[in-house]
Structure 1
Amino acid sequence: MLTGPDGWPGLADDALATGTPLTLRCFSENPATADPRLRAVGEAAWHGTPLNCTEDELYMRISSTSRRNLKAAERNNVTVVASTELDAVHAFHRLHVRLRKNKYRLLAQPVEFFERIWQQFTGADAVITLLAEVDGEVAAGAMYLVWGDTLYYKFGASLSEFLPKRPNDALYWAALRLALSRGLRTVDWGISDLDQPGLVAYKRKWASEERRVVTLRGGPDPTPKTEVGTMLGELTRLFTEPSVPDEISTQAGALLYRHFC
């Protein structure tokens, strides 16, 4: 672990000596950002919610918009179920496939990817899947990991037709309450690209801490997109057409996703 600026040069010397492309992300105050051998190629926002408070105090810390949306979710009979079971992971993955396909025109990670995460953490009940339901139908979901004294938000998905009922607000609040009940120190909402202002603004409603994360690159630029990469892009476009059944898109993701990594 890098504990101070004096340790960075030696670490960077070893990493850059190979002449291979190097990409890293760090907070903006990290000494790596001042290294002239690295160039900044991106910036994102990180959000976190400290839990050094009671539930009532936490409720008053979130934005007034979030509090209004929580009342709307309650009026719309949105219920949230927290589970550490694999069935909940599978239910979340179905949402994830639909969101990636219909909103972003991307293939989803295969279900085996999520199953392996669950297998690695399930012994400590450290994979928590939250599912928001409206009249018995899953409207939104999120997967969280517990590590140390922190609850980490990892994946989220929701169905657009349910958004007016505010299922995502119900999910976020349920996650905060769950972390508080477990005696955790903070909720880490992860990073959001600055070209997604809607997502950044949404996380700001729940987080009381915000920091900048910089993407740095050293060495030669990564290999340009190849003919294979172009082909994968075209296959993605075809398999995420609205006319393609979700099950086919799911199978395509399972077959092709490893080639994107």
Structure 2
Amino acid sequence: MHGILTTPDGGVAHGAFGPDGLFAHPSNGIPSPRSLAQAAYDVLEAHGLGYLLWHVRFDHGELAAVLHRAGFSSTPYATHVLSLGQSHADLFAAYRKTRRNEIRQSQKKGCIIREATTYDDVLQYCAVHAKLAQQKEGFRVKYPAELIFGLLQLPQPATLSLAEVSGQVVAGALFIPDGDSVFYWHGAADRDFSDYFPTGALVDHGIQAAVARGAKSLNFGASGSDSLRDFKASFGAKPASNWTFTIGRRESLRTRLGRSLRRLFQPTRPVSPLLIVAC
């Protein structure tokens, strides 16, 4: 499993298994609830963290159950998952008719799908994402080109697929291998080229690549809006739930009682907005 340490400005240092919405699972099997809890507390203590987030994948219910038995609370969140136990041709035939037509139109109009191989490729994709972020609200995180390019250099590398029209990058999608699954982690498209349907063509390309590598599923990630859920469902993806567990520092009974008494006898004071951090 992998962790990342982050310290928001004015906030509490915390860690994550895995970082930025990626998922983590013990590589040597699932230990007992007590051992799992102790390992998590050891990470908190060793790095001086206030809390730890653990993202658990939709099909790792056994791990989620052990974390629950260890006493950790979780928040489920919706995703969509496409099972890949058949050929790409059969999967394509199950797409919604309008989606199949758009993908065919994308090809006929000359939209070409290729893989990013150079740092300049990544910069072009980041430029598309930056343009979209200016047009659309809700883009809180803009990942640097160095991070994305680094993901392409891993021993089990991520794949950044690009859609080009007349040699110009107009969209991209980042797929990360995750054991026997593939995670559609990031994507952006230039709205000026929406008539070329590049996003649908990119997802279809990602599905074809996932089938070729023998993956069992394609995890589409969080499904927060009706339009996003409908887009994913048009490929045949079905609703599922991931979990995010929050693991805080282990405190003694004396510490918890002391904090409760202080809250009881101290007057309530307004919280400074500087201390409210969205993570």
TM-score (normalizing by structure 2):
0.64
Give the one of 148, 154, 168 matched to 1:120.
154
Q: 1:65 is matched with which residue?
A: 98
After superposition, the C-alpha distances for 1:167-225 in whole angstroms (9 at most, x for unaligned) are 11111111222333x342235334215x33322322222254542012232437xxx88
The percentage of aligned residue pairs carrying the same residue is 19
In the alignment, is residue 99 of structure 1 matched against residue 124 of structure 2? Answer: no
Letter in 2 for 1:160: R
In the alignment, is residue 196 of structure 1 matched against residue 216 of structure 2? Answer: no
Whether the 8 Å contact between 1:25 and 1:214 is mirrored in structure 2 is yes
Determine the C-alpha separation between the residues in 2 that align with 1:225 and 1:64: 53
Q: 2:55 is matched with which residue?
A: 25
Determine the C-alpha separation between the residues in 1 that align with 2:130 and 2:235: 26
Letter in 2 for 1:94: A
Determine the C-alpha separation between the residues in 1 that align with 2:132 and 2:158: 21
Pair 13,197 (structure 1): closer, same or farther in 2 beyond 3 Å? farther
Determine the C-alpha separation between the residues in 2 that align with 1:106 and 1:46: 19
Pair 55,92 (structure 1): closer, same or farther in 2 beyond 3 Å? same
Give the one of 176, 200, 213 matched to 2:207.
176
Give the one of 108, 112, 118 matched to 1:79.
112
In the alignment, is residue 156 of structure 1 matched against residue 187 of structure 2? Answer: yes
Give the one of 111, 114, 128 matched to 2:145.
111
Determine the C-alpha separation between the residues in 1 that align with 2:38 and 2:131: 44
**Larger of the two Rg values belongs to structure:** 2
Describe the SS at the equivalent of 1:168. helix
Q: 1:88 is matched with which residue?
A: 121
Give the one of 237, 240, 259 matched to 1:211.
240
Higher relative helix content: 1
Structure 2 residues not aligned, in runs of 5+: 1-25, 250-270
Whether the 8 Å contact between 1:101 and 1:108 is mirrored in structure 2 is no
State the number of aligned residues.
222
Give 1:154 shift.
Answer: 2.4
Give 1:158 shift.
Answer: 0.5
After superposition, the C-alpha distances for 1:112-145 in whole angstroms (9 at most, x for unaligned) are 2223223334xx6x34221112333322111223
Determine the C-alpha separation between the residues in 2 that align with 1:94 and 1:11: 42
Pair 225,174 (structure 1): closer, same or farther in 2 beyond 3 Å? farther
Pair 9,33 (structure 1): closer, same or farther in 2 beyond 3 Å? same
In the alignment, is residue 138 of structure 1 matched against residue 158 of structure 2? Answer: no
Q: Aligned-residue CA RMSD in angstroms? A: 3.4
Determine the C-alpha separation between the residues in 1 that align with 2:225 and 2:238: 18
Letter in 2 for 1:184: G
Give 1:36 shift.
Answer: 8.2
Whether the 8 Å contact between 1:189 and 1:203 is mirrored in structure 2 is no
Structure 1 residues not aligned, in runs of 5+: 231-259
Determine the C-alpha separation between the residues in 1 that align with 2:272 and 2:231: 33
